[in-house]
């Protein structure tokens, strides 16, 4: 044994080592807070904004409060324990809740009322701190062994607070101005996005379940089916949309019935086909694994009780497989929410419309108008389906 191995390892008084993840993220947040621009100010939509640091945006008291909360997260993580982790979680949530009020203060100090077209943009440090705080929330959920539903509810509450602040007091925020200029188009795009995702996921659940059961019955089908599904995953989404354009346009031109039901080379048809194709692999894989992992002893006990094969499937195998199957639905849905944005390029609508229009106009706030709702939808679906899967596992939520 070496001399280093023989030396005693220092321990903290309350037991345990510092949480390196939270401490590191706190240091990064402090560096970002003081080193990057918090907001930007522009006289109108066309002129590029001028960056403003944290002191110019929210003043010394606001900067001090933000730094204090960030230091509290890192300091509490230096002496890990359930109480300190719970306090760190409170600091994270409080900081998230105070961030929109920081924008209100910056708007009051920086926007000249004599310039009605002036806009307040969100700077790099604001977005980075928001992203790191979400990572801290995930780390604390794992450390406190919380159900996925609780962070989702916390984020929903903070999101509601943000929405109230934006709708009532943040008229000068560039993102709010972009929304008010096209609110009807935005709501229509949200509806289109949700419908596309819902239909694609619903079809993939049915097809994936049928294919998984066929693979269980015919073992030779397993390798070839997974090979095809893996191959589909390797095709870039934009290329798949392009590959579908010509054959679907030909079918619409030569089969009048298909044209009457709305099949065409652009629009919803190629978007749904591509989304279903990308969704099948996680759906089939999780369904197959979920059905196969049921213990043979459990099925043997069901047989001893006189259950037929159909009864065993519906009353034993499927209920036990449901948590893993729901994980497949969760992965499929979150993936579809992101991929649906690309469908805007072929005229399917959805929130991707704002993303690509914003990129074409070099208007980053319009890009955010499309990207942020996609992120929120993905987080909500992930939290809800993850919590449901945890609740259906044997023993439920502890």
Q: Which of 161, 180, 199 is the last residue of a domain?
A: 180
Residue 130 has pLDDT above 80, yes or no: yes
Position 394 scores a pLDDT of 66
For residues 362 and 273, state if they share a domain: yes
For residues 219 and 344, state if they share a domain: yes
Q: Which of 150, 180, 210 is the last residue of a domain?
A: 180
Of 19-33, 84-98, 243-257, 330-344, where does mean pLDDT reach its minimum? 243-257
For residues 72 and 98, state if they share a domain: yes
For residues 189 and 221, state if they share a domain: yes
Residue 218 has pLDDT above 80, yes or no: yes
pLDDT band at 254 (very low <50, low <70, confident <90, very high): confident
Nearest to 170 by CA among 95, 97, 98, 100: 100
For residues 252 and 221, state if they share a domain: yes
Domain assignment present for 398: no
For residues 237 and 347, state if they share a domain: yes
For residues 140 and 196, state if they share a domain: no
Nearest to 98 by CA among 53, 49, 63: 63
Domain assignment present for 397: no
Unique residue bearing structure tokens 């807070």: 33
Position 115 scores a pLDDT of 80
Residue 2, burial from CB neighbour count under 10 angstroms (0-12, 13-18, 19+): exposed
Q: Which of 180, 213, 235 is the last residue of a domain?
A: 180
Position 62 scores a pLDDT of 92
Digit-coded pLDDT (tens) for 195-204: 999 999 999 9
Position 345 scores a pLDDT of 85
Q: How many domains does one find in the chain?
A: 2
Domain assignment present for 138: yes
Residue 379 has pLDDT above 50, yes or no: yes
pLDDT band at 16 (very low <50, low <70, confident <90, very high): low
* Residues near 272 by beta carbon (within 8 Å), at least 6 away in sequence: 196, 199, 200, 203
For residues 166 and 193, state if they share a domain: no
* pTM of the predicted structure, to 2 decimals: 0.83
* Residue 60 structural domain: 3-180
Position 334 scores a pLDDT of 93
Instruction: Please count the CA atoms within 13 angstroms of the CA of 58 that sit on its side-chain side.
Output: 23
For residues 30 and 133, state if they share a domain: yes
Percentage of the chain beyond pLDDT 70 is: 95
How far apart CA 134 and CA 372 sit, in angstroms, is 14
Position 293 scores a pLDDT of 83
For residues 241 and 370, state if they share a domain: yes
* Residues near 31 by beta carbon (within 8 Å), at least 6 away in sequence: none
For residues 237 and 173, state if they share a domain: no
Position 332 scores a pLDDT of 92
Digit-coded pLDDT (tens) for 259-316: 777 777 788 888 898 899 999 988 999 888 888 888 778 877 878 887 887 788 788 8
């Amino acid at each position: 044994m070496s001399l280093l191995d023989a030396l005693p390892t220092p321990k903290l008084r309350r037991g345990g080592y510092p949480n390196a993840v939270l401490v590191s993220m706190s240091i990064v947040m402090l560096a970002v807070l003081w080193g990057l621009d918090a907001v930007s100010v522009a006289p109108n939509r066309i002129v590029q904004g001028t960056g403003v640091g944290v002191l110019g945006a929210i003043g010394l008291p606001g900067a001090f409060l933000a730094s204090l909360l960030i230091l509290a997260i890192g300091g509490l993580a230096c002496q890990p324990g359930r109480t300190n982790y719970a306090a760190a979680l409170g600091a994270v949530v409080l900081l998230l809740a105070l961030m929109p009020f920081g924008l209100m203060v910056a708007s009051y100090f920086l926007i000249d009322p004599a310039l009605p077209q002036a806009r307040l943009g969100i700077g790099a440090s604001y977005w980075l701190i928001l992203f790191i705080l979400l990572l801290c929330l995930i780390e604390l959920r794992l450390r406190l062994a919380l159900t996925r539903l609780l962070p989702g509810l916390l984020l929903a509450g903070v999101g509601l607070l943000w929405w109230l602040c934006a709708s009532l007091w943040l008229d000068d925020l560039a993102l709010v101005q972009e929304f008010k200029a096209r609110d009807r188009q935005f709501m229509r795009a949200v509806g289109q996005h949700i419908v596309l995702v819902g239909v694609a996921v619903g079809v993939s659940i049915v097809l994936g379940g049928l294919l998984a059961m066929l693979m269980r019955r015919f073992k030779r089908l397993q390798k070839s089916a997974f090979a095809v599904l893996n191959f589909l995953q390797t095709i870039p989404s934009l290329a798949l949309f392009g590959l579908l354009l010509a054959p679907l346009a030909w079918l619409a031109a030569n089969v009048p019935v298909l044209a009457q039901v709305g099949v065409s080379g652009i629009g919803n048809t190629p978007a749904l086909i591509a989304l279903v194709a990308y969704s099948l692999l996680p759906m089939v894989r999780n369904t197959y694994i979920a059905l196969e992992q049921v213990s043979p002893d459990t099925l043997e006990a069901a047989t001893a009780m006189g259950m037929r094969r159909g009864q065993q499937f519906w009353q034993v195998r499927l209920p036990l497989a449901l948590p893993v199957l729901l994980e497949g639905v969760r992965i499929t849905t979150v993936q579809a929410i992101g991929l649906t944005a690309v469908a805007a390029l072929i005229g399917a609508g959805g929130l991707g419309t704002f993303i690509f229009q914003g990129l074409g106009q070099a208007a980053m706030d319009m890009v955010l108008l499309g990207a942020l709702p996609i992120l929120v939808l993905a987080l909500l679906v992930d939290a809800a389906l993850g919590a449901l899967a945890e609740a259906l596992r044997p023993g439920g939520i502890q």
